[in-house]
Structure 1
Amino acid sequence: MTDTAAEPLIHDHDHRSDYAESNSDVDVDESTLVRPGVFIWVLTFCAGVSGLLFGYDTGVISSTLVSIGTDLSARPLSTLDKSLITSSTSLFALIASPLTGVLADHWGRKRVILLADVLFVVGALWQALASTVWGMIFGRSIVGLAVGSASFVVPLYISELSPSPFRGRLVTVASLFITGGQVVAYITGWLFSTHAHGWRWMVGLGALPATIQFLILEFMPETPRWLVKANHKDRAKNVLLRVYGGDEEIKNMVNAVLRRIENEILEEEEAAGGRTNSEVPKHGFGGRLAKVNDGLVQLIAVGGNRRALIIACMLQGFQQLCGFNSLMYFSATIFSLVGFRSPTLTSLSIAITNFAFTLIAFHSIDRIGRRRTLLYSIPIMVIGLALCSVAFNFVNIPSHEAATNNPVIKAAGRTGSMIWPMVILVAMIVYVAGYAIGMGNVPWQQSELFPLSVRSIGSGIATATNWGSNFLIGITFLPMMEGLTSVGTFALYTAICIVCWITVWRIYPETCGLSLEEVSKLLKDGWGVQESVRRAEERKRAAS
């Protein structure tokens, strides 16, 4: 095989024939890889620090809300205050996701991670120094911009660097960091909950990991797929050689991967109507706007891209609408209302369960597959939520406003039997276990659904769907607990999970073991569910 570093980015039809001959070889070669190399593990862990920040900032608010007291605006927090403080992060993450999707194509994935680090530091320090409710909301909003950027770009970064046999597992590392960050947040909240103004330390400590990642970012490369698209093929080849290794067989594999990427770019340009680089302005605002518009047109007009967007948005939306982050944001509030004497410490069991079962997902996602993981785990979520709904019917919960403003009422809720509160805790743990195995991880594999030309903007829009749904959950949970009651709220989440399972069964194909370019072809003429399941069974039989 010739060295592709000397070849032009766009091949003619003869080169496409060469690619077709080598493409089957690279599939076989990649499937023979035994384990990820040291370099890709280092990159994954460095990028995963953003996931740690993501998890910490979404988890720490639970302990913060029950620890602030009258420190903000010299009064207790109302239901509206808590809802706004919590949901402002989601709202601004929603705003940031599609915008940074555009920036990731223009600047590169690495620079967007750097931008997120700066926002994490500013947001954490602003919260720690806040003296009013609106000051706290502003700090949480800055953190939201950081979380929205990191939550989309880190899985994209890891996905574009990873060899296909390990892609699911390596992207799941980002989820491990998220859940690990939530555990750290709950432990930090528990340690500082008894200290005067300890909540300021809880939120302020989020600046430390961001500063560390900012310093190590200089040693992280850009992704090879973005480098090829930006006409830096020599640099892309060097990154791939370090990711895959350096012997002669690996060099041939790297050359084939580069050629496959180039061929995808060529096919995408032809699918977009034969558009060439000369037809799009290259510089200035007009050029950037034209590229964004061209990407949106391709995302909607091309059938395969549109189906990828529907699947990615469906998964991200259901991930939040099933109510999981209501536990992350308000678990301490819930456990306080049902009678637990140490609600922050009780909430830690939720975070630990989430982390532990994400480890199971890490081990199984590339073995069982994305589709089957969801079809097996969502019923566990349904059982947990349904049991929660039933158990809440036997617990006398005071209204949030009454419990907040009248300690006697709050203490009265602790004098009854703890049997049903314990059932609620167990049911939530069951629900979180099912969530962590499937819905907590699989939606973040979204980058693999999109072809390179729309991967960044498509992932950004899907992530915006996640944060839009997250915002809806954050702003409505406490009012729903009072209006629909806790029984009705968790019954609604149960129904949403059932709808999610049906949708996954109908339209989500199995992408495990496929290269990024192969996934794009799978969705070209339909949802590809039956074809993907058949191919997954063939790969399973071949491996056994």
Structure 2
Amino acid sequence: MRDHEHPPNKSGRGEEVDVELADMPSQRDDAGPNAPLIHRTEEDDNQPHNARTTPLTVQHSGNAFIWALTVAACVSGLLFGYDTGVISSTLVSIGTDLSSRHLTNLDKGLITSSTSFFALVASPTAGTLADTVGRKNIILFSDALFIFGALWQAFTSSVWGMILGRSVVGFAIGGASLIVPLYIAELAPSHLRGRLVTVTLLFITGGQVIAYLVGWAFSTMPGGWRWMVGLGAAPATAQIAMLVFMPETPRFLAKVQKEAEARAVLAKVYRGMLPDTSDLVAETMSAIKKEMLEEEEAQVQLKSTNSTSVIPPTLHSLLLHPPHARALTITCILQGLQQLCGFNSLMYFSATIFQRLRFSSPTLTSLSVAGTNFLFTIAAFNLIDRIGRRRILLITIPLMVLALLLCATAFSFVEAPQQHQVKAPENNAETIPDTRLPAIGILVAILLYVSTYAMGLGPVPWQQSELFPLSVRSLGSGLATATNWGCNTIVGLTFLPMMDLLTPTWTFVSYALVCLLGWLIIWHIYPETMGLGLEQVGELLKDGWGVKKSMDRLKAARRSTRALE
């Protein structure tokens, strides 16, 4: 399917793009950047609809149906954000309520990392099941786990009970974090795909803001942390009710031979975008079936050349078919970098950090981190289809490195109290470190780091499904998401020990070095996918990493746009 994403023009609301539906030759590597949304093949000429030589107009902003689906699906993102954000306030509010003792660093690490570890387990499992039971049912099952895990945490009285509750939530997050972006990508019109997937990130960061607000509201209440974690059951219950009105994706329906239902969903997705959507629906279905047939033929050929392999066919294709393997490599590197840069150490332990720095309200200070993340994710929503995925990473990651080094420098002053000392009260000769200025410096550096992360490494890795064809999309996205959660687990387990053993200064220097290495890798292997249809992205990875080819296409598209203006 050639579904080309068109960059927005200057017309503002109600802007429209022209998409030509005409007889087209089979796809070639040198397809132009302004190729039509759908192309016809010889096989299509036998379909009972007429070829068009005049352009059809597609409404750029989408209809109420597709936006309602996006919002309903993104409730899972809200849950994802809430449950990862609320643990920061919870850890500093539990006191001795669990196992009748204060939490140790090991307790905090296990409570935090158990969520990411079981999300790691759930991601590839959900990816495999999504091709069997459907995308929608995975979201429903995740909601049930969110409810059970939230209530279990609220009523537990032991550290290990808390770890179990966080593990159940981890299963739910692992499934939701994989399926929701995939679900939206498979339903969205091509020209809205990047933005609609980024809406997921808006809900995640919004959920984190809500988590910090709830944490602040209940932080002074005895046992208030139980309300913090227990309230996570409410959005999940609401989403179960919404699922009644949510359809399955047309790609999955076509895959399980439910073509009539797939056509009905597509008709609703495109409703209002054209005076008559029947031809567009028919062309889209034809393109879906064509892609499925080509992928099946490729898998048969791969299986025949490796007939002795015991690896499942889809996994075999992902690992050994070069275009699929390149897509998997890129997505896994991006997802790994998203976590190993240390961002979620701030989501999990920001209140702990600000508590150590003697802020009067660590939870309220942490709200500034979550709020910055949310606001700059809105900026990413507006920029990701204008600046481009590759370019936005190459711009923001160096700023993240700078922010991390500034943070490390500020921590060095906190670690050297003899340089900044004031007399202690009660007229004695002792001195205590004056950490106010370094602490403010750390907060400013963290906010710079979070803002640049939110525009780049936050949303870009979750565009992963556009790099995979339908036949390997679920499993490929599942493995990439598992990489994310595996690295998240490492960060959750090692952050506090690194702060104690390496000192905060060298901990943040380590994260800066990871970001620098990631920038170099992105420069060499990550092609620009902005404005390219799903099939065109596959063409980029056909014979190599496609970086130069993608930049050439982007330049050609811009020249064409300027010529039209």
Instruction: Give the one of 326, 329, 332 matched to 1:313.
Output: 332
Confirm or deny that 1:229 pairs with 2:229: no
Confirm or deny that 1:59 pairs with 2:77: no
Confirm or deny that 1:238 pairs with 2:257: no
Shift of 1:20: 10
Aligned match of 1:219: 245
Shift of 1:252: 2.1
1:105-130: per-residue Cα shift (whole Å, max 9, x none)?
A: 10110000000000000000000001
Matched-pair contact (CA < 8 Å) for 2:201–2:459:
yes
Using the aligned pairs only, state the percent identity: 58
Aligned match of 1:405: none
Q: 1:31 to 1:197 in 2, by over 3 A?
A: farther
Aligned match of 2:36: none
Shift of 1:16: 4.7
Aligned match of 1:363: 382
SS in 1 for 2:531: coil
Matched-pair contact (CA < 8 Å) for 1:55–1:181:
yes
Confirm or deny that 1:345 pairs with 2:364: yes
Shift of 1:414: 8.6
SS in 1 for 2:384: helix
1:307-343: per-residue Cα shift (whole Å, max 9, x none)?
A: 0000010000000000000000000000110121110
Instruction: Give the one of 31, 39, 42 matched to 1:17.
Output: 42
Instruction: Give the one of 437, 446, 464 matched to 1:428.
Output: 446
CA distance in 2, matches of 1:446, 1:21: 35
Aligned match of 1:124: 150
SS in 1 for 2:248: coil
CA distance in 1, matches of 2:439, 2:44: 61
Shift of 1:500: 0.9
AA of the residue aligned to 1:17: E
Confirm or deny that 1:354 pairs with 2:373: yes
SS in 2 for 1:128: helix
Confirm or deny that 1:331 pairs with 2:350: yes
Matched-pair contact (CA < 8 Å) for 2:345–2:495:
yes
Shift of 1:36: 1.9
1:72-129: per-residue Cα shift (whole Å, max 9, x none)?
A: 0000000000000000000000000000101101011000000000000000000000
1:245-294: per-residue Cα shift (whole Å, max 9, x none)?
A: 25455332222222111111111111112599xxxxxxxxxxxxx9x811
* Rg larger in structure: 2
Aligned match of 1:84: 110
AA of the residue aligned to 1:502: L
Aligned match of 2:393: 374
Q: 1:70 to 1:206 in 2, by over 3 A?
A: same
CA distance in 1, matches of 2:55, 2:271: 13
Which 4+ runs in 1 deviate beyond 3 A? 18-22, 28-33, 246-250, 412-415
- Number of matched residues? 502
Shift of 1:383: 1.2
Superposed, which structure 2 residues align to 1:251-266 within 5 Å? Answer: 251-266=278-293
Q: 1:177 to 1:523 in 2, by over 3 A?
A: same
Q: CA RMSD in A?
A: 2.4
CA distance in 2, matches of 1:532, 1:33: 26
Matched-pair contact (CA < 8 Å) for 1:30–1:163:
no
Confirm or deny that 1:522 pairs with 2:563: no
Matched-pair contact (CA < 8 Å) for 2:60–2:192:
no
Confirm or deny that 1:479 pairs with 2:497: yes
Q: 1:33 to 1:500 in 2, by over 3 A?
A: farther
TM-score (structure 2 length as normaliser): 0.85
Q: 1:490 to 1:110 in 2, by over 3 A?
A: same
CA distance in 2, matches of 1:329, 1:31: 47
**Structure with the higher helix share, 1 or 2:** 1
Aligned match of 1:271: 298
Q: 1:414 to 1:535 in 2, by over 3 A?
A: farther
CA distance in 1, matches of 2:281, 2:526: 30
Matched-pair contact (CA < 8 Å) for 2:136–2:246:
yes
Aligned match of 1:138: 164
Matched-pair contact (CA < 8 Å) for 2:112–2:348:
yes
Aligned match of 1:154: 180
CA distance in 2, matches of 1:82, 1:51: 24
SS in 2 for 1:525: coil
Q: Structure 1: 5+ residue runs without aligned partners?
A: 1-14, 277-289, 399-411
SS in 2 for 1:366: coil
Matched-pair contact (CA < 8 Å) for 1:340–1:414:
no
Matched-pair contact (CA < 8 Å) for 1:164–1:513:
no
Shift of 1:539: 2.3
Matched-pair contact (CA < 8 Å) for 1:396–1:413:
no
Question: Which moved further from structure 2: 145-154 or 243-252?
Answer: 243-252
Aligned match of 1:408: none
Q: 1:176 to 1:229 in 2, by over 3 A?
A: same
TM-score (structure 1 length as normaliser): 0.88
1:11-35: per-residue Cα shift (whole Å, max 9, x none)?
A: xxxx95345999xx99x97995421
Matched-pair contact (CA < 8 Å) for 2:357–2:435:
no
Aligned match of 2:423: none
AA of the residue aligned to 2:339: Q
CA distance in 2, matches of 1:528, 1:414: 57
AA of the residue aligned to 1:293: P
Confirm or deny that 1:250 pairs with 2:268: no
CA distance in 2, matches of 1:202, 1:523: 45
AA of the residue aligned to 1:62: S
AA of the residue aligned to 1:364: L
CA distance in 2, matches of 1:137, 1:417: 34
Matched-pair contact (CA < 8 Å) for 1:338–1:396:
no
Confirm or deny that 1:542 pairs with 2:533: no
Q: 1:314 to 1:21 in 2, by over 3 A?
A: farther
Shift of 1:218: 1.0
Superposed, which structure 2 residues align to 1:172-211 within 5 Å? Answer: 172-211=198-237
Matched-pair contact (CA < 8 Å) for 1:190–1:344:
yes
Q: 1:537 to 1:348 in 2, by over 3 A?
A: same
Matched-pair contact (CA < 8 Å) for 2:115–2:171:
yes
